[in-house]
Every structure is written in C-alpha cells, then in structure tokens.
Structure 1
Amino acid sequence: MEKEKKRFQVSQRVIWGSSIALAILASIPKLFDNSSKPVDIFINSSITFLFSLFIWHYNIYSLPKFMARHTTKNFVNGRLLLSVIMGILMMILLVVAHQELFQVTKLDAPIMFELRGILINLIVYMFLHLLFQNYRTQQISLELERTESVNLGAQYELLKQQVNPHFLFNSLNTLKSMVEIQDPQSADFILKLSDFYRFTLESRKLDLIPLREELQILESYTYLLKARFEEGFIVTNDINSSCYDSAIPPFTLQLLIENCIKHNIVSLDKPLEIRLYTADDFLVVENKIQLKKGALSTGVGLNNINQRFMHLIHKSIEIEKEETVFKVKIPLIYDYSNH
C-alpha cells in the first residue's frame, strides 16, 4: 500500500517561541519609558503574544485548504487580504478585552497596535508562504523520485527477462537436424536445453545470483551452441574459483556470449574464441574480432547490461576494443545481501 503523504506542519516550538520573542520585542520600548508601569508592560506583551498565536494558527489552518483550491504563486492575493482583515479585527478585540479586564483607561494609540498587528501578520504570512512552497517542492521531488524508481524497476524487469527468442528457434532447428540423422547426442542436447530453460524460469525474478550458478547456466547454454557450431565455437573458462561466491545479474554472461556470436563470424574455418577470466574486481569476457560483413552494432545489448549494473550497484561496465581483441569488463558484486 502506498504511503500516505506527509502533512504540512509547523512545530509548536516555533509558534510559541516566536510569539514570546515578538512579545518581548514589543515591550522593549516600554522598559525605557519612565512613565510606563509594570501592568502596562504586561498588557502590551500579552496583547502581542496572544495576537501572534492567533495569526500563526489562522494562517496555518487556512494555508493548505487555500493552496489546494488555488495554484497561484503570487505572494499578494485574496488570502493575504483576508488574513490582514481578520488580524485587524482580532487586534481590536484583544485591546478592548484587556481594557475591560485590567480596567485601564490609557493604552497606546489603537493605530500603533493595528500597525504592529499588520507587521506581525506580514512576517508570519511571508514565513509560512516560503515554508509551504518549500514543502510543495519537496513533495513534487519525492513524487518524481518515486515515479523514476517505478520506471527503472519496470525497465529492469524487462531487462532481466531478455532471452533471445532466436536462440530457442535455432536450438529447436539444431535438435530437429540431430534427430533426423539419429545423432546419439540428441538426448543430452534435450537435457541441456531443458536445464537452460529451467534455470531461466528459476532465475528470472532474481536481481542477482551467485557467479557459480551463472556459470552453470552458461555451461548449458554453450553446450547447445557447440551442438550447432561444433568446433567453430570455443569458450575457455579461466575464472578464478575464489570469485565463484560473488554475484552477478542472471543471464549476463549468456547475453555477452550471444553478443559475440551476433557480430562475429563463427565457422569451422574461422572458429570464434571466447575467453572468460577475472582481473582485479572485474570479470572479463574477451573475444577475437572477426566481424561479419555488413554487421552493424547498435550497442543495445551492451547498453541493456550496463543499465542492469547501474540500476543495482550504480557501477557501469567497461568496454575495451583493441585491433584484434574486444573486451567487456563487468564488475563483480561481493556485498549483495541487500539485493
């Protein structure tokens, strides 16, 4: 279930602290007025304090409702005017109430209280306006991040399930030919084909699998390819066994081998040699360059593999092309408990 959006809130410490601070600031001139009595200072502070509390809460509780109905970003609008009018009325009410409660006959000129109230109102409104705009920006950013995460997750699911349908078609054609000539290896071919697609079904929902399991998948895959290409296809595994407990996205090696076959000549006269080995924290897939005539590389296969690694560990693969050798270096993943 999707998490409920965090509501816009202002800390009560901010509200009460700022109200007390404004009350103290409003009373400072009275402290230097010899004619002022303690009760005058108290009344002046009390009016300012209560007015500040009212303005804070009025603006807070009207802001979300107002912003939900209007998308205007103008600072000066009808809501500000309404807040000023409500502030003037509240200030008059507070002054009258204090006069009646404390039975004082002389207070500061009413216009001074109203000007003070308008100033406090503008300060609070401006502060809340900035806070709420920042809140809205954060909510939009979170929504964009969530959407991007969902989008990346969907893309990654498609990448994980990328098994070339041409491979199945070619494998079935190879099997048909083997059966027709009554090749004794037909039964083994069927078992390896079954193993490969069993691995496919078991691993397609996983983000990562141990390298040793990936090599088992690759063994079945290369067996099927050798039945088709015979001695024209050679894969040498020189991977250090100490790396077998590292992890790798499933079918990464299968896609790399498939990429080699797609772009290079594979024949008995010109065998395609592929070597797997480890260097530092990378697994290297290296092949001799013997490009097919008219073969054009779109880079889609390698880009898909790169996206998988970027999605999982934020690391990219490395590609090195020399005169006679093509290398793809993929980072080995050792800490994969959180995947």
Structure 2
Amino acid sequence: MSAIPAERARAGQGATLSVRDLTTSFDTSGSPVTAVDRVSFDVEPGQVLGLVGESGSGKSVTLRSLLRLARAPAETTGSVLWDGRDILALPEAKLRAIRGNEIAMIFQEPMTALNPVLTVQRQIDESLRAHTRLSARDRRVRAIELLDLVGIPAAAGRLDDYPHQFSGGMRQRVMIAIALAGEPRLLLADEPTTALDVTIQDQILKLILDLRERLGMSVILVTHDLGVVAQTCDRVAVMYAGRIVETGEVGEIFREPHHPYTRGLLGSVPRGGTERRPLLSIEGTPPSLAAMPSGCAFHPRCSFRTDICFAVSPPLEPFAPGRQVACHHHQRVAEAGLP
C-alpha cells in the first residue's frame, strides 16, 4: 500500500459524511413504496457507525442509496454531503471519482458479488485501473500487497485463482481487498459476516477494525447482530420500516434503550451475568412497505402504545447530548428498563 493511508491515519484526517432526509422510493405497479424514509445521520472521521435492524428495515438500501447504486425504478432524494460535495447532485463523471475510490463498499454474499469467471487478480485489477495510474506490473504487485494486507496466506500464489477456489471467509477477504484498492476514506460494509461461522466472523470483524486503525478509515457497518455492534461500533442507528428510530453511543443504547423496538432487540440477545432464562422475542412481524400502518409504524407490535401512536408518526428528535429517538413514550420505555 502507498504511504497515503498511513499518513492520513497519523494525522487523524478524513471527511465527514452528513446525510439529511435521505429517501428512496420504488415506483411499483401500484403506489410508490418507500424503502428509506427521511434518514439522517453523520459519520465522523475514523468512526464506526452501526446500522442495525431486522431484515427489510432498509439498511442495505440506505447504503446503496449513499452511492446512488439504487437504480431505476428507484428514486432517491435528500442530500448526502461528503467532503462538502452532495453526492446525490454530482454528475456521473464526478461520482465515479468518489465511488470505489474515496468511498468503497463491501457487498453481501461474496460468492455472488464476485464474478465467478474472472480470476481474483483480474477483479482487483479492474479497481486499480479505474482509480490509479499504476502500470500493469505495478498493479499486480499492489494486488499481492492487498491480498497480504487482508490476511490471505501465500498471496502471490492465489492471484490467478477463481472465487470458487476460496473458502467463504477468504472470499470475504478478497471483497475487502477489492474495496481497499482505491484507498478509501469511508468503507460501507453490508453485513460482511453473513453466512460465515462464528470463528471466521470474528476474524473478519477484527480485520475491519484493524484496517480502520491502520488506514484511518471511517466505517458504516450494516448488521442485524447486536453482538457485532457491541464488538465493533462507536455509534449505532436502529432502523425500523425504513426509518431511523434511535441513535446514540453504543454503550448508552445498550444500557438504556429509549425506543421499544431497540428494547425488544436487546431483550433477544443473551446477556452474561444473568440467570438462565428463555430469550425474548418481539411479537408480530415488520410491516409491509406497501401497506404501512398509520401513525407510528411500530405500534402494532408495541406494548407501550397509546392512542397518539395510532394517529401521529413520532419524529426523530434529540433528548440528550448525542441521543435521538422517535417515540412518543420514550421516557416510559427507559424507565421500564431492559426486559
């Protein structure tokens, strides 16, 4: 790797991502379906932000929308300010200079995200050709460096292998190597440990954190696993039905959740130091995006609901320094404590 990331890490430099009212809707045969609804958050240099929630809550669409990867029939509005530039308003040519270079993404399911008929070297080389001026020989040397950086043994001998010749964990490492080719300042990681056994999950998460420290990157980590959030993230944003319903420092959220959905998620996670008891679950299922309930989207599953919850959708508002919640009764939820 070049000296640029190391210098950036030592200087603590980077760019802030500021997302405001990000909304992504899909034009279906009926009425438009909103998958991401007025999402706002910030990511500071070197920070790891976790986006957490059940499947279908809008986490992956949010990541794709940040880089305008949600294609037609999707429509994305709002603002995504990166280093003073609004990504959603940039012409395609300038967007290409950011996508994969300054901001890179690790996609879910590396077996399908990687091209099965191209060698690993060819797929890394595509990114290097797009974002560097290296010669073919130097690109091959850099590809070996990248594979070595992400912990693939005998990297030089694996360059000409195909994705099916790697294990699941090694394929995920290849995906990370491709993402790092442009030396990004922000890494978008879409459930990077999905379908991996717990030992490999731990290795991948430690690798991402180590690279964050070594390269001075910020990270947005999408997951449905609160254990992963506790292990890796500085801040967390909880998503439900396309909206962020609670944000805060990880330790504060885990100690005192203020949204009943967050409280339910934490109640489903085993905790040390407590007597053995069945894990709790949140009753019901997430709502269909095509038929959202009136008022608060969570009220059909909420034990704290009152009449106002059926009629008025609560805005995401600050209630303490660094904390936001979208709940009419968040103080009652906090007073109830963890289930």
Structure 2 length normalisation: TM-score? Answer: 0.19
- Structure ranking higher in strand proportion: 2
Whichever of the two has the greater Rg, that structure is 1
- Structure ranking higher in helix proportion: 1
